[in-house]
Amino acid sequence: MERGLYIAAAGMISEMVRQDQIANDLANTATPGYKPDKAAQRSFGEVLLENTRTSRLIGRLGRGPFIAEQITDFSQGGINDTGEPLDLAIIGEGFFAVRTPQGVRYTRNGAFRAAADRTLVDQHGWQVLGRDGRPVRINADGTVDPRRVGVFRLAGAEKAGDSFFVGNPQGQSNAEVRTGALESSAVDAGRTMVDMIGSLRAYEASQRAITTIDDTLRLTAQQVGNLPA
């Protein structure tokens, strides 16, 4: 019966991780270029049960789920025209490169603006890099040449917070850069809400299982204590 407690607890922990991931996705439904995550669950190895007196096999018992990995979905988001000359959208694979205090980071969020020195910067004020690895200069008319903006292929891309990714750059991408547009978040809000409700129901089921097992153990302990000596 104690094994049942561990199985239910493992299920609760897995769903807590999923809830955090789903909540983060929902919070970024309006973040340009955001890519959602998917939690891949697996089961701990099964154990083979047998009768301790006769050694007769009873069957197999799982030991609960766990989060094996979180996978980022890099599917292309929709392209929305904004009319802002410094908004850029990548159509295809690749990332913009931004020079941050932590080093070069990569992003799909093309909501850029002009710095005082007329270089293209992101919302944090960090410079966007061109194809030559140098900061992108803004034209006198307030526009930017999309052909000068660097779009880099990235191997092993991993999230690094604030819509940034880290990974191994693999050179320039052939993706198109469109000005006056932004790539929308790839989060499907309706589907994500359904996933959140399903995860919550699974968490509650594991919670009820723990409560039931705990009540059964308590009643068993009371009955044993009331047995005559």
Residues 103-115 pLDDT 10s? 999 999 999 999 9
pLDDT in tens, 169-223: 999 999 999 999 999 999 999 999 999 999 999 889 988 888 888 888 788 777 7
pLDDT at 48 over 70: no
Q: What is the pTM assigned to this prediction?
A: 0.79
Kindly state the average pLDDT of the residues 150-165.
95
pLDDT range class, residue 9, cuts 50, 70, 90: confident
3-class DSSP state of 47? strand
pLDDT given at position 70 = 85
- DSSP-derived letter for residue 216 is H
Encoded amino acid at 146, one letter: P
**Higher pLDDT among residues 121 and 38, named by residue:** 121
3-class DSSP state of 211? helix
Spatial distance between the Cα atoms of 160 and 167, rounded to a whole number of angstroms: 10
As to burial, measured by CB atoms within 10 angstroms (0-12 exposed, 13-18 middle, 19+ buried), residue 1 is exposed
Rounded to the nearest integer, the mean pLDDT of the chain is 88
pLDDT at 29 over 70: yes
